[in-house]
Structure 1
Amino acid sequence: MYRRRDTRREQLVAEITNNLRRYAVDAQQVGHAFANLHGLNPTDLQALIAVMDAELLGDPITPGRLGDQLNLSSGSVTALIDRLERAGHIRRDRDTVDRRKVLLHYADRGAALAMEFFQPLGARTDTVMDRFGEDELEVVHRFMAAMSESVRAHRDSVRATRPEPPRRPTS
């Protein structure tokens, strides 16, 4: 049962919290639909998002950073990258400055598949954003950045308290 909200602020906080929860669930379902359509598992999808995010920031991700971000062992990251590369979603490139370093990039085929699937969502997003002025979008941007940071901090604290999986003995 929901209790009655006494102030407008309490009402807004409750409604925004519900909207964020619903958005997260709906966005996850859209991501899963893309993954299912292209034979990807949830970790594959997380990896593709990490590669895309890093590229958008102009700082392509390395396999080591990807493993840290996804909390995977180096062997699991290698298998993941091999699988995504074979499927045409990502490519490995040597760093032009340090040839020992491998950088991961979205492959043309993977980018085309993502564009085809997500372009209608992008158009819908643009339509929604067009209804808000620049000042309003500044507030929303600050809010979303702070909420995202809060969720990441919680994720990291939960990850830190989770016990490590048992390691297989090496012979």
Structure 2
Amino acid sequence: MADDDAVRTPGGPPALVLLLQEFTLEANRYVDTAGGRNDMHRTDLNALAVIMRHAAKGTVVTPGVLRKELHLSSPATTALIDRLDQSGHVIRERLGSDRRQVQLRMTPKAYRDGGAMFLPLARHMGAAMAEFTPAELEVAARFMESMTQATIRAAQEAAGPEAAGPAALGPE
């Protein structure tokens, strides 16, 4: 491994942890700026990301799924969905024979607006990634996945034992 100065800052956390913190801060600033210019809250953009992720997997997103994944109260979830519906980014569809279950779907407008908001970020990140070899990107991807899973486990631990059952802990 590299010498300790490259891995750990004097008296502080490892340099990689500081870089992850800085990346997270800058990514949050970008989301706030891009969302703010489009009259969208961070929670709105997070909701669209959840819906998009589920759509890519072919799974249904209900208000309950959104509430759980975004850690919102029921009233906050309703207000969020109302905002996204009124802005033309999400539609509610009734499912099943009794039509009681509501599914949330992104509209073409949401995909267009999201693409426009995040195109500059994608362009700059793509250019930065082009500076690395496929092998380096593979290592970076494994590292980021590992950091993401570690963060999920830490959040579950911070939430307390009632939130972290065996299934919730994820891969070891």
TM range (shorter): 0.7 to 0.9
Q: Residues 16-165 of structure 1: matches in 2 within 5 Å?
A: 16-95=16-95, 99-160=99-160
CA displacement 1:115-134 (0-9 Å, x = unmatched) = 11211211111122222222
Cα distance in structure 1, aligned partners of 2:88 and 2:63:
17
Alpha carbons 2:61, 2:104 under 8 Å: kept: yes
What residue identity is the alignment partner of 1:15? Answer: A
- How many equivalent residue pairs? 156
Structure 2: distance between partners of 1:97 and 1:52: 25
Provide closer, same or farther for how the CA distance between residues 41 and 120 of structure 1 changes in structure 2, counting only shifts above 3 A.
Answer: closer
Higher mean displacement: 28-37 or 40-49: 40-49
Taking structure 2 as the reference length, the TM-score comes to 0.77
- SS of equivalent residue, structure 1 residue 132: coil
Q: TM-score, normalised by structure 1?
A: 0.77
Secondary structure at the residue paired with 1:85? Answer: helix
Q: CA deviation at 1:147?
A: 0.5
SS, match of residue 91 in structure 2: strand
Q: What is the alpha-carbon distance in structure 2 between the residues aligned to residue 132 and residue 95 of structure 1?
A: 46
Deviation at 1:98, TM superposition (A): 8.5
DSSP-derived class of the 1:103 partner? strand
- What stretches of structure 1 of length at least 5 have no aligned partner? 1-6, 162-171
Distance 1:32 1:132 in 2: 28
Aligned residue identity for 1:157: E
Q: Structure 2: which amino acid aligns with 1:151?
A: T
Q: Distance between the aligned counterparts of 1:48 and 1:125, measured in 2? A: 21
Query: Partner of 1:12 in structure 2?
Result: 7
The alpha-carbon deviation at position 97 of structure 1 amounts to 8.8
- Could you tell me how far apart the structure 1 residues matched to 2:109 and 2:100 are? 26
Identity of aligned residues (%): 30
Q: Distance in 2 between matches of 1:133 and 1:98?
A: 53
Structure 2 gaps of 5+ residues are 9-13, 162-172
Stretch of structure 1 that moved more, 33-42 or 115-124:
33-42
Q: Could you tell me how far apart the structure 1 residues matched to 2:3 and 2:139 are?
A: 19
